[in-house]
Amino acid sequence: MKLKNHFHLIREFTINNFKLKYKNSSVAYLWSILTPLLMLATLYIVFSIIMKLDVPHYQLFLLIGIIFWNFLSEATTTSMNSLLAHGNIIKKMNFPNYVVVVSSCLSSFVTLLLNLIIFFLFTLIFNVKLTAIAIILPFYLIELFILVLGISFFLSAFYPKFRDLSHIWTFLLLIGFWVTPIIYKETIVPEKYLKYYMLNQLARLINEARDILIYHYTPTLKQVLITLIICVLIFALGFLFFRKKSPYFAEEL
């Protein structure tokens, strides 16, 4: 199959996945916007109003963390099951299996982009001005996408043979939500544990996105390179593992 046809397949699968996600919903695509807003309202009431957590521009601080986290959570969960969901097509058609994983992540990425529109509207509401450094946001979004895609390759390769993985991953996501600085700043983590804590690449991406969008801080070249290298490494390892396992998918599905 030619590379051009691969891109066409990815596009078609992505559109179809996005439509199917809201097929039986009365408010359809509005849920992609309502979900992070409902999370924002709940967490803001609990941690800012009740617990008095003092973080500048906490509404925006929370929202960008929620948007990034929801993308990782949704994309990895749906991608993990993507081979099984398209099992009949995979068995009947001759095309690269990675197409269904990439398209699954891309459909969640569309939701991320819709949610970012809400974030930018909130910057106007709360009078937070964007500076020139915000122009590098697409770079962080690409890093986030390849990180999530790398994780998704691992999960989708394991899942056809190890179905209990879905329960394990649900539990790991629950833990991950609380050990990622979505609700709180990483500065509350004890210094001796911080270097281990920041091995979490999503934490790095969320922090750096907040810096450029909310706090107008320019990340250092070292920060950017460390995050980029690790994200690319996770993607490469995930893709290689997926390719190694792909000859066995047809018999496992």
Q: What does the pLDDT read at residue 102?
A: 96
Contact 29, 119 (CB under 8 A): no
Contact 74, 109 (CB under 8 A): no
Of 14-28, 47-61, 119-133, the least confident: 14-28
Render 56-99 in DSSP notation, one character per residue. TTHHHHHHHHHHHHHHHHHHHHHHHTHHHHTHHHHHHS-S-THH
Summary mean pLDDT of the chain: 90
Structural domain for 199, as ranges: 3-252
Give the ranges where the chain is alpha helix by DSSP (H).
3-21, 30-44, 58-80, 82-85, 87-92, 98-125, 137-158, 165-179, 191-197, 201-213, 221-245, 249-252
pTM of this structure = 0.92
pLDDT tens-digit readout, 73-123:
999 999 999 988 877 777 777 778 899 999 999 999 999 999 999 999 999
Q: What does the pLDDT read at residue 253?
A: 64
Provide the domain count of the chain: 1
The residue count for the chain: 253
The residue with tokens 């509005």 is 30
Would you state the structure tokens that stand for residue 48, as one six-digit string?
A: 């800012």
Would you state the structure tokens that stand for residue 5, as one six-digit string?
A: 């046809």
Q: What does the pLDDT read at residue 27?
A: 62
SS3 (DSSP) at 5: helix
**Burial degree of 207 (CB within 10 A; 0-12, 13-18, 19+):** buried
Would you state the structure tokens that stand for residue 238, as one six-digit string?
A: 């995930």
Q: What does the pLDDT read at residue 249?
A: 79
Q: What does the pLDDT read at residue 9?
A: 85
Contact 66, 39 (CB under 8 A): yes
Angle between helices 137-158 and 221-245 (to 10 degrees): 30
* 246 band by pLDDT with thresholds 50, 70 and 90: confident
Residue 158 CB contacts under 8 Å (≥ 6 apart), including other chains: 165, 245
